[in-house]
Amino acid sequence: TLFRSCTSSEIVTRIRRIAGTKTGHGGTLDPNATGVIPIGLGAANRCFTLIDSYPVPDGDTPYKITFDLLPPAKCYEATIRFGLRTSTDDIWGEVLASNSTAAAALTEEAVKAACAKFRGELQQAPPSVSAKRVNGVRAYVLAKQADAEPLDLKPCKVFLYSIELLNFRPPTAALPFPEADVRVETSKGFYVRALARDVGDHLGCGAVASKIHRTLSYPFSIEQAVPLTDIKSVEDIKSHLIPTDKALSNFQSLVIKKEADLRRFAQGEFLVHEKLQISDPLEPNVSPRPLSSSSFYGMGTLFRIYCESLFVGLGRWELDPSMRRSKGKTRINTGILPSINVYAPQFRKEEGSSDPQPTVAFTTSSESGTQES
């Protein structure tokens, strides 16, 4: 979990100094927000761009992947304060307008009905102070410039799976603005601050976010999170590692049958489907089954690739590159082309053996960091 006024990049820097290796994060969290932020080290960083990607399922006919077919990428618990408009769409920005009189007339039923109108697919304008890029520059950087004009960022397509009104508090003498606690499930790229702003505009009084707490950054939940204050040494990182393949559990998996083919995969070679089988070490109770050439997968579909129970990387379902170049071939093979290797095999001779055996170093990841081992 994060402290308020601590940016995502500051978290990354802190973990990098402890781990002593390349570090990245799996989704920006607002400086004044708290909650889950996945941190990856080494090769695990390359997997973060894929965690929110989903493969085309197998079946008799292909179909388009839409938001409603995907699980929520983020979940938040937030507080919306009505009657204010600010430069950042939260209580920490410059106050642009205040309307406590109109806000005081709000009822719980009106707020609940307004929130319900935002369920589903939305064209959401990001806050003008955000991590969105404008001509290659972060919007929050442009907003800090002395002569900066208010930014009008292009709306982005996002999805609000659910919004639940947990509590409504009328205004008091201490706080003349009503507040509502909500729980939301969203797609990636969704801004809770922008949701608060838009709900307030719909009600005609304005609104801002006064608290944002992220409880899920798919597939990591708040129950798995580690307080930042608990990460003080490499040993602390090691004790909270989560295997990289679990972060990619939304992808289907294939297993390489022979160790010799593992070496070929590591060297970037294409593996024809006969050298693979359908199996998932994360689900040991499911029996392996052969992978046939008639198996339907969309070209470019990504799979987790294993050799026995060792996660070795990601592969794309493709046509055999050599057959694509050969006009005389009538049989077209499909199989796996390496996409991302999360380990670096080093081939060496064991004592008493003439054959080189691979020793594999692989990277695992967790919310608090990753460690190559």
Query: CA separation (Å) from 169 to 106, 164, 177, 202, 339?
Result: 10, 15, 9, 19, 51
Distance from C-alpha of 56 to C-alpha of 211, rounded to nearest angstrom: 37
Phi, psi of 332 (to 5 degrees): -100, 120
| Contact of 292 with 276, CB cutoff 8 Å | no
Residue 320 annotated to the active site: no
Element (H, E) at 321: helix 321-324
Phi, psi of 360 (to 5 degrees): -115, 130
Question: Could you say which of 30, 90, 198, 245 is catalytic?
Answer: 30
Two tokens, residue 41 = 């080290």
Establish whether the linkage from the previous residue to 219 is cis, with ω within 30° of 0: yes
Look-up of token digits 């304008």? 125
- Quickly list H helices, 133-233: 139-143, 192-203
Provide the pairing of β-strand 289-290 with 302-307. Answer: unpaired
The residues annotated with a catalytic role in the active site are: 30
